[in-house]
Structure 1
Amino acid sequence: MGCNQSTSAGSVGRESKANVDEQTYMFLCKVKLLKRLPQDELPALAKSATEVEFKPGQSIIKQGEEGNEFFMIKKGTADVEINGKKVAGLKAGDYFGENALLRNEPRNATIKANSQVVTLKITRQAFSSLGLQDKLEFPKRGAVGGGVAVQAEIKPPSEKSTEDVQLIKQALQANTNLNTIANLDEARIKAMSDVMWKEPVAKGTAIIKQNDLQADYFYIVKSGSFSISKAEDVKEGQSVESAAAAQLGSVEAGGSFGELALLYFAPRAATITANVDSEVFVTARQQFKEILLRANEAETKQNLDYVGRCEVFSAALKDSEKKELAAAMHEMTFSKDETIFEQGETGTQFFLLVEGSVVVLKDGKEVASLRATPEKAPYFGEKALENKEPRAATIKVTSSRARTLWVDKETFEVLLGSLSELIKRGKDGDTVVAKSVAPTAADAKRFGVIKFADLKKHGLLGCGGFGAVELVEETKTGNMFALKALSKGYVVKSGMQASVMSEKNVQLMCDSPFIVKLFETYNSPEHLYFLLELALGGELYATYNKRNMWGNEACAKFYVAGTVLAFEHLHGKKIVFRDLKPENLLLTEEGRVKLTDMGLAKVIFGKTYTTCGTPDYFAPELIASKGHTHAVDWWTLGILTFELMSGHPPFESATPMQIYAKVQKGINAVVFPKKLKGDVETLVKGLCNSNPTERLAMKKGGIQNIKTQKWFASFGWSDMEGLSMKPPYVPTVKSKKDMKNFSANKEDMPPQIPYKDPKTGWDKDFATSA
């Protein structure tokens, strides 16, 4: 039997059992999840399917309930309802609940029969009894990047009538997706209206094409009408997610579309075509981001005001230096009777008190009290910016709440230089104060030279959103590596040149047993290559699905702890990772965990503003484009902990915009399953605080707050760091060339776009070896 075979059926009377199985087999061939099984496994699975009928109005599955059954619609139609609202329709050949074959997770939607519906049902027990989990291939959830819209043309704004301005305002206010990602107050609406330009669109023109990489514009319909279509092969069937994401229909005058393009770079999800000659107002992602950035400038101005109130800085720093410092400072809040630091501690942080009051204690006795006022921002810990002397006093909070801004010695000296030298120079001085060198990549030759010509390929390990990874052998030594290839054409098309160069430099900075090492980089006419440390135990995501490890507390603690130690290393080098998920955690042959894929990692001082990551793991400040710090990584750690313990991320939904709407409601609106009650729930909520400065590792104590959290009460952190802790799961790896823990599908290969050199020299320093 093959998947292209036509379905056979008896012409009269009941179908034979063979024909029923054949028809079921043909249905199963359409399911994306099951396409990742060897085709010879499907006949046995088809025999395990049972036929179930539902009456009109009857719920087949209900949103929020945990399920262990997968359904395909054989006859009839059904509605997809999310939060009581119909979002899509399903027909014969469509399917839902496929994830229930792998793990417990709440249903994302209610599926309600709106006619007599006949379904085919397969239970998780039947799926598991056939040993099919181990034979599935698991694609990575794609990250979305912050590529530069290199070809996005911005036109001069058009003149607008009063009616035009009103239409734009009403369209922006009516776009619920857009209001999920940005607080569209009057000022922002006016700013968006001011920059928009008008364009005619002829009847039949596809203004947006599905999967187009040039996804840079947002549109408001001034006049005319547009239809939305999705290139789904009707014969293939579709899942609930694809049905809900389709949002088929039309957009009339006063409507809008393309809002995801304002948030980040991602291929278009549908095709939008003019039904008649039409007109649209247009704005680009860069313009939208600039409007949001202007709102964020108010926070920087406030910080600048605080810096100006500090006597030591007002006397020592020039205006430009104060601005740099203000942008790099972080906020930390404290409660009454909490100590900001204690006498005798070694300090690296300098604090400005911007709200509240504190007392200064020496040898237990109060020697001074400090209060923030509109005129003055008291400071303490300035010695930490000059040397690492023990703290001379204890600072204790006396108000109900104290808010501080802080900067560490390394950041201060990289941005501005030595504080003592700046004080000597003064704000009016001309002396050049030398700055410290920012964290840099290690010597690319620290592992020796490995030439590309000496590498022999053995097979495909995996595919990601931007590259494919192969198992390779250095023929001279027999050493095995993973070789990641990126299409240079795709990199340039998606504007990811700077990200790729950053990935190389960040990867070379890392030297931790909890992070995959980079050995060499190569540059060919069509591709860029990373030669990476090999971890043959497989991706954590696929391992969890195949071994049904979701909810295993010992495993979750081990992998979360390994991620904490990876982040500790990265953050110590001022690197923010930004794309944590089980797919980016690899297991070694011994079962140890390693963080991989630095494609979205970046060295930052203060905040950065690129929206990127994997939607399930987006922090609220990413969605709102408010600027983010290393705090986003601690949010993602909370999401990872929840997913490993439950089998699904807490804000999971059918579409990205539905995820973002849930994220904005906060972690306290999430229903925690039984396995996530108690100390682990407290940990997740402590990491997923909507306020980045209140996340567990961002408060006083830092990472130690996680290590001492009750869920980790009996965990041996020193054994984990010293690699002496026995892993809870050891994968089967029979040889140094055994790829059985990986199952790559060539369908997941990123686009291989022919490369046309833009002659900018962007890649000239990429290669570390020939």
Structure 2
Amino acid sequence: MGCGQSKEGGAPATCESKANVDEQTYMFLCKVKLLKRLPKDELPALAKQATEVEFKPGQSIITQGEDGHDFFMIKKGTADVEINGKKVASLKAGDYFGENALLRNEPRNATIKANSQVITLKITRQSFMSLGLQDKLEFAKRGAVGGGAAVQAEVKPPCAKSDGDIALIKKALQSNANLNTIANLDEGRMKAMCDVMWKEEVPQGTALIKQNDLQADYFYVVQSGSFAVSKAEDTKEGQSAEDAATAQLGTVEAGGSFGELALLYFAPRAATITATEKSVVFVTARHQFKEILLKANEEETKQNLNYVGRCEVFEAALKDSEKKELAMAMLEMTFSKDETIFEQGEVGTQFFLLIEGSVNVIKDGKEVASLKATADKAPYFGEKALENKEPRAATVKVTSNTARTLFVDQDTFEAVLGSLTELVKRGKDGTTVVSKVPRKTAADTKRFGVIKFKDLKKLGLLGCGGFGAVELVEETKNGNMYALKQLSKGFVVKSGMQQSVMSEKNVQLMCDSPFVVKLYENYNSPEHLYLLLELALGGELYATYNKRNMWGNEPCAKFYVAGTVFAFEHLHSKKIVFRDLKPENLLLTDQGRVKLTDMGLAKVIFGKTYTTCGTPDYFAPELIASKGHGFAVDWWTLGVLTFELMSGHPPFESATPMQIYAKVQKGINTVTFPKKLKGDVEVMVKGLCHANPTERLPMKKGGIQNVKNQKWFSGFSWSDMESLSMKVPYAPTVKSKKDMKNFSANKEDMPPQVPYKDPKTGWDKDFATSD
């Protein structure tokens, strides 16, 4: 771009290049969040690249939808932030916008328009790249939410409410757009919320919610009074356009409501909300709201139980409690007309109940029966698969336009209830205990209990997450290298993450795949828990993509997506749902192989689970709506990952979680696919991100093979990928087994180290595999 011409906003009035670094430019750069992650001694050279560009009142500096190449900081004047033609924020001197354009091509998500004479400092991506700064950035991870808060918040008895109170609460619930994004608030649910609410008086000046508070468990409806919403931002420091657009400052008056994100999951409060006068609020807690949503899901379980209860194969064998367990463990699978549910002669692994539609049973090429689901009858087939994996005796083919089935496989059945053969022997009135088949741990059990904590030497920090820090360690006896993840027990307890941490350990013990980071030992000290993990020195995929500008690289995307498919195949075979896929949780080995890491939100499930957790950019619609979720959420996240690797940003990206969730609920078909995502890859992404979990590619007949058969993977050798013989598309530079240069960690990102006070519950007693 030449002097006197702005590529994105038309011709500016003047343009002046700064030859020397002045103090103001340097100070501006020091305030930018992205640039704070650069070594400070790199900023003077970058400041020399800044050019001064002036814009007239009413002139667009950048335009929504256009590809971005330049980063701007406002030196003088004010500008408006517009999204879809609507003003959402104002910017002033010291504020900045377009920082992502320094790293990658992606459409501008807002228009910035000068509303006075504006003087900006501009840095181009070309200048940024020419200084090699993308290699020196430390990239912050997108944090996961939820998964904790094991300790229920205190609730008070509901208060009496007048007809006027009830009308006010219902109107407040109906008018809260964010709340209606996360829940279908019908009359019954609104009444249930109203019924459990209690009343609290709030004196003037009281901060009912404090920004960053971890005690974020309540939702409020204002009966009387007024509240001010504020954020603890230092206005002298400057803010990004995104920060300005999401500040949401203002007031909440009588009939308004706030705190709805707390109903969805555990996360620190985003703002401070203070009573500006004596006020009264109605209150409800997260777990009360979740219980209301769960009651709707109970109807689905009751219906499934009704089907199971009428199935003769279980009538004589299962007690009522066991029938309910089975009903909760069964999953839904849908089929289309003329589709074969299973073929005669194939090895059977699943039992089916037909709950909608009709099928023909064909033996040796001849139709021998026709089955149809009715309100009173759910025909079943494939029951022998629950006792032994013998060949199917017949073919079952769909004759209706669609057919809905409930199914369970032998592994799930035996893990939940035990052997069907033994259950039949016992009978529903028997007293003999039928043992459940335990889940297998990792095949290589010899690797546990042999590496002592005292033999580990810490060499440096590899990375930091929301709850743990990871360090490079050496086993001094033999020079073997590992990654040691450290968790503050005090912070775990404070955040209610005890159950989640134990689940992470148990899940890791079960995993044994070349596409999943291995666990070697666990340790337990007075203040910390430790996981000794397989080392992958090639770096984190998210940082690698940003530093190498690999977004849109198709061979790389196919390689990493395929590796994730194999990781999920392994996890799902062990009934583990992962729930937190993102480039940050994919690591590269020194040879460039890809491995899934961080089992913090992973969980063994049979049927559905109901904890809302994950990374907001990757949330599936059933997570947002608290409808219960299963393995289908992982396939949704694979679609989001594919989109992000090919475009540089996730498909539902927005400034706030609630804005993301609103887009997710509108569906993948409302997303604009960039050029690199047209054609076969778009078909695959939409097949993975189907709104209906049962319609996602691997959840249909054919399973994971449906992904492997996608046209986008045409010519891709899945066997070479699985055997680790495929040539890697990108080989990271790793000079030695102690080379940490592919990682950049900042001690400022260390999670809180909270002093541990033992609650004497013994929650951590089984954590260690070695001392």
Q: Is the pair's TM-score, using the shorter chain for normalization, greater than 0.5?
A: yes
Normalising by structure 2, what TM-score? 0.96
For structure 1, which segment, 420-429 or 727-736, has the greater mean C-alpha deviation from structure 2 after superposition? 420-429
Match of 1:452 in 2: 453
- Once the two structures are TM-superposed, the CA of residue 492 in structure 1 deviates from its matched residue by 0.7
Give, in whole Å, the separation in 2 of the partners of 1:406 and 1:448: 39
Indicate the residue corresponding to 2:394 in structure 1.
Answer: 393
How far the C-alpha of 1:316 sits from its partner, in A, is 2.9
Q: How does 1:97-116 map to 2 (within 5 A)?
A: 97-116=98-117
State the partner residue of 2:10: none
Native 8 Å contact 2:17 2:51 kept in 1: no
Do the aligned partners of residues 79 and 734 (structure 1) sit closer, same or farther apart at CA in structure 2, a change above 3 Å counting?
same
CA shift digits 1:670-697 (9 cap, x unpaired): 0101111111111100000010010000
Whether the aligned pair in 2 keeps the contact of 1:105 and 1:647 (CA below 8 Å) is yes
The amino acid of 1:413's aligned partner reads E
- Checking the alignment, whether the CA contact within 8 Å between 1:141 and 1:614 is kept in structure 2 is yes
- Name the CA distance, whole Å, in 2 between partners of 1:769 and 1:244: 50
Displacement after TM superposition at 1:701 (Å): 0.6
| Matched residue, 1:519 | 520
Match of 1:334 in 2: 335
Distance in 2, Cα, partners of 1:657 & 1:58: 31
2:657 alignment partner in structure 1: 656
1:574 positional shift: 0.3
Asked whether 1:268 is paired with 2:279, we answer no
Alpha-carbon separation, structure 2, partners of 1:342 and 1:268: 54
Give the secondary structure class of the aligned counterpart of 2:579: coil
User: In angstroms, what is the RMSD of aligned CA positions?
Assistant: 1.6
On the 8 A contact 1:441/1:506 being kept in 2, the answer is no
Per the alignment, residue 677 of structure 1 pairs with 678
Partner-residue secondary structure (3-state), 1:204 = coil
| Number of residue pairs matched by the alignment | 757
The question of 1:687 aligning with 2:688 is answered yes
Q: CA deviation digits over 1:528-548, x for unaligned, max 9?
A: 111111100000000000001
Per-residue CA deviations over 1:65-121 (Å, capped at 9, x if unaligned) read: 221111111122222233333332221111111111111112222222232222222
The change in CA–CA distance for 1:766 and 1:347 in structure 2 (over 3 A counts) is: same
Matched, 1:216 2:217: yes
Q: In structure 1, what is the equivalent of residue 542 of structure 2?
A: 541
1:357 counterpart = 2:358: yes
CA contact (8 A) 2:219 2:257 kept: yes
Q: For residue 153 of structure 2, what is the aligned residue in structure 1?
A: 152
Could you list the per-position Cα deviations for residues 746-766 of structure 1 after superposition, in whole angstroms to 9, with x for gaps in the alignment? 221111112111111111111
1:7 aligned partner: none
Say whether the 8 Å CA contact 2:468–2:750 is kept in structure 1. yes
The whole-number CA distance in structure 2 between the counterparts of 1:149 and 1:499 is 9
Is the alpha carbon distance of 1:207 and 1:451 closer, same or farther for their aligned partners in structure 2, counting shifts above 3 Å? same
Aligned to 2:381: 380
Instruction: Tell me how far 1:64 sits from its aligned partner.
Output: 2.6
How far apart, in 2, do the equivalents of 1:445 and 1:286 lie?
Answer: 42
AA in 2 matched with 1:625: S
| SS of equivalent residue, structure 2 residue 499 | helix
Letter in 1 for 2:651: P
CA distance in 2 between partners of 1:259 and 1:442 (Å): 45
- After superposition, the Cα gap between the structure-2 partners of 1:522 and 1:127, relative to the gap in structure 1 and judged at 3 Å, is same
- The answer to which of 472-481 and 569-578 deviates more is 472-481
Q: Residue 254 and residue 19 in structure 1: after superposition, are their counterparts in 2 closer, same or farther (change >3 A)?
A: farther
* Offset at residue 206 of structure 1 (A): 1.0
Equivalent AA in structure 2 for residue 549 of structure 1: M
Q: Distance in 2 between matches of 1:82 and 1:616?
A: 19
The equivalent residue for 2:11 is: none
How far off is 1:440 after superposition?
4.1
1:38-86 deviations in Å (ceiling 9; x for gaps): 1121122112222222333333223332211111111222222333333
Match of 1:11 in 2: none
Point out where structure 1 has 5 or more consecutive residues left out of the alignment.
1-13
Question: What is the CA–CA distance in structure 2 between the aligned matches of 1:20 and 1:490, rounded to whole Å?
Answer: 44
Separation in structure 1 between the aligned mates of residue 455 and residue 721 of structure 2, nearest angstrom: 36
CA contact (8 A) 1:65 1:106 kept: yes
Q: CA deviation at 1:564?
A: 0.4
Matches within 5 A, 1:576-655: 576-655=577-656
Q: Deviations over 1:394-433 (max 9, x none)?
A: 1111111111110000111111222233334433444433
**Worse-superposed segment, 497-506 or 756-765:** 756-765
Give the partner amino acid of 1:410.
D
- CA contact 1:562–1:720 (8 Å) conserved in 2: yes
| Closer/same/farther in 2, CA of residues 639 and 297 from structure 1, 3 Å limit | same
| Residue 12 (structure 2) aligns with | none
Amino acid at match of 1:399: S
Show the 5 A alignment for 1:413-428.
413-428=414-429
What is the CA–CA distance in structure 1 between the aligned matches of 2:89 and 2:311, rounded to whole Å? 58
> Is residue 511–residue 518 contact of structure 2 (8 Å, CA) maintained in 1?
yes
Contact residue 636 and residue 696 of structure 2 kept, 8 A: yes
Cα distance in 2 for partners of 1:462, 1:729 equals 22
SS at match of 2:613: coil
Counterpart in 2 of 1:42? 43
Which segment is superposed worse, 413-422 or 269-278? 413-422
Q: What pairs up with 1:251-330 in 2 under 5 angstroms?
A: 251-330=252-331
SS in 2 for 1:668: helix
1:673-726 C-alpha deviation (Å, 9 max, x unpaired) = 111111111110000001001000010011111111111111111111111111
Task: Please name the residue that 2:433 is paired with.
Answer: 432
Q: Would you say the 8 A contact 1:444–1:519 is kept in 2?
A: no
The equivalent of 1:75 in structure 2 is 76
Partner secondary structure for residue 682 of structure 1: helix
Alpha carbons of structure 1 residues 24 and 192: separation in structure 2 relative to 1, 3 Å: same
Q: 1:49 to 1:518 in 2, by over 3 A?
A: same
Deviation readout 1:133-177 (Å, 9 max, x if unpaired): 111110110000221252621111111111111111111111111
**Aligned equivalents of 2:475, 2:234: Cα separation in 1:** 44
- 1:197 matched residue in structure 2: 198
Deviations 1:208-227 (A, max 9, x none): 11111111111111111111
Structure 1 residues 621-664: Cα deviation after superposition (integer angstroms, max 9, x where no partner): 00000000011000000000000011000000011000000000
Tell me, yes or no, if structure 1 residue 249 matches structure 2 residue 250.
yes
Q: In 2, are the aligned partners of 1:87 and 1:247 still within 8 Å (CA)?
A: no
Q: Which residue of 2 aligns with 1:725?
A: 726
CA contact (8 A) 1:108 1:654 kept: no
1:441: Cα distance to partner? 5.7
Residues 150 and 497, structure 2, Cα contact 8 Å, conserved in 1: no
Q: What SS does structure 1 have at the residue aligned with 2:447?
A: coil
Bigger mean CA offset, 199-208 vs 655-664 = 199-208
Measured in 1, the distance between the counterparts of 2:443 and 2:229 equals: 50
- CA–CA distance in 2 between the matches of 1:597 and 1:646? 24
**Rounded Cα–Cα distance in structure 1 between residues aligned with 2:85 and 2:58:** 13
Measure, in 1, the Cα distance between the counterparts of 2:579 and 2:616.
11
Q: 1:108 touches 1:652 (CA, 8 Å); kept in 2? A: no
Separation (CA, whole Å) in 1 of partners of 2:476 and 2:639? 42
Contact 1:304 1:322 in 2 (8 A): yes
CA distance in 2, matches of 1:323, 1:62: 56
Which residue number corresponds to residue 165 of structure 1? 166
**Equivalents in 1 of 2:318, 2:191: separation in Å?**
37
1:444 Cα deviation from its structure 2 partner: 5.7
1:432, 1:261 → 2: CA distance?
A: 43
Counterparts of 2:380 and 2:668, CA distance in 1: 35
Q: Within 1, Cα distance between the matches of 2:283 and 2:209?
A: 12
SS at match of 1:237: coil
Relative to structure 1, the CA distance from residue 503 to residue 442 in structure 2 (aligned partners, 3 Å threshold; closer, same or farther) is farther
Aligned to 1:503: 504
Following superposition, the deviation at residue 122 of structure 1 comes to: 1.4
Distance 1:15 1:303, change over 3 A: closer
Letter in 2 for 1:650: P
**Whole-angstrom CA distance in 2 between matches of 1:494 and 1:313:** 43
